[in-house]
Structure 1
């Protein structure tokens, strides 16, 4: 690594991490509260996607640390950095849940592109390579969500 862009890499990864936690919790929220004719399939899909998102959080945080920076420390830190909006509504219909999660995964994909750009500018091929896998997983989540809409 050249270290010329390390702060930008860490910042991009911390933004990605904050949005990953926000998306994880929103996906679990929808998993817990989905209802209607598609309950079972969406309940299972949301749980599967939430687990996939959560699995990336430790890897993202470790990349921040490997870049010599501090990572997120609290829920407050996440809330200050997240761009994915929470959904505190008491009731959300299943189709809106799916549309919201698809859009939020698109936001996460944009964060991934920012992290990749920063990593490549720094010559950080390890981070760049990891981002590729996370982007593929995110694109698959988007595909699955959009496919449920018909």
Structure 2
């Protein structure tokens, strides 16, 4: 890994981490508040996806630390780095939840690609390699969400 480029990797990973936490909380919010005829299916889907997102947060933070830098330390720190917007809406329809989560997962995929490009530019093959799994998981979440809307 090139020391000159490692701040780019760290910045990209911390941005990815912030968006992962934002998406995790939004997904849990929808899990808690979904209602309607598809309640059970969506309640379970959102919970499964939230768990998957949360599981990546530790891996992302550890990659930052392995790059010799500090990572996010608070909710405020997350809010300063996140691009995925919070959602405090009440009474949101299930389809709107699905659409927002699909769009937010697409935004997360953009952040993953940015981190991948930064890692490759820094010749950080370990970070570049592990990011591929995060991209695959995110693409699968997008697919599940969009397939749910097509039904």
TM interval, short-chain normalised: over 0.9
Determine whether 1:146 maps to 2:146. yes
Shift of 1:91: 1.5
1 CA distance for matches of 2:120 and 2:4? 11
2 CA distance for matches of 1:108 and 1:130? 15
- The equivalent residue for 1:31 is 31
- Which runs of at least 4 in structure 1 moved beyond 3 Å after TM superposition? none
1:86-120 Cα shifts (integer Å, max 9, x gaps) = 00011110000000000000000000000000000
- Superposition pairs for residues 5-84 of structure 1, below 5 Å? 5-84=5-84
- The equivalent residue for 2:88 is 88
What secondary structure does 1:149 align onto?
A: helix
The two structures have a TM-score, normalised by structure 2, of 0.98
Unaligned runs of 5+ in 1: none
Unaligned runs of 5+ in 2: none
Aligned length: 150
1 CA distance for matches of 2:104 and 2:94? 15
Shift of 1:4: 2.3
- The equivalent residue for 1:129 is 129
The two structures have a TM-score, normalised by structure 1, of 0.99
1:43-69 Cα shifts (integer Å, max 9, x gaps) = 000000000000000000000011011
1 CA distance for matches of 2:5 and 2:130? 17
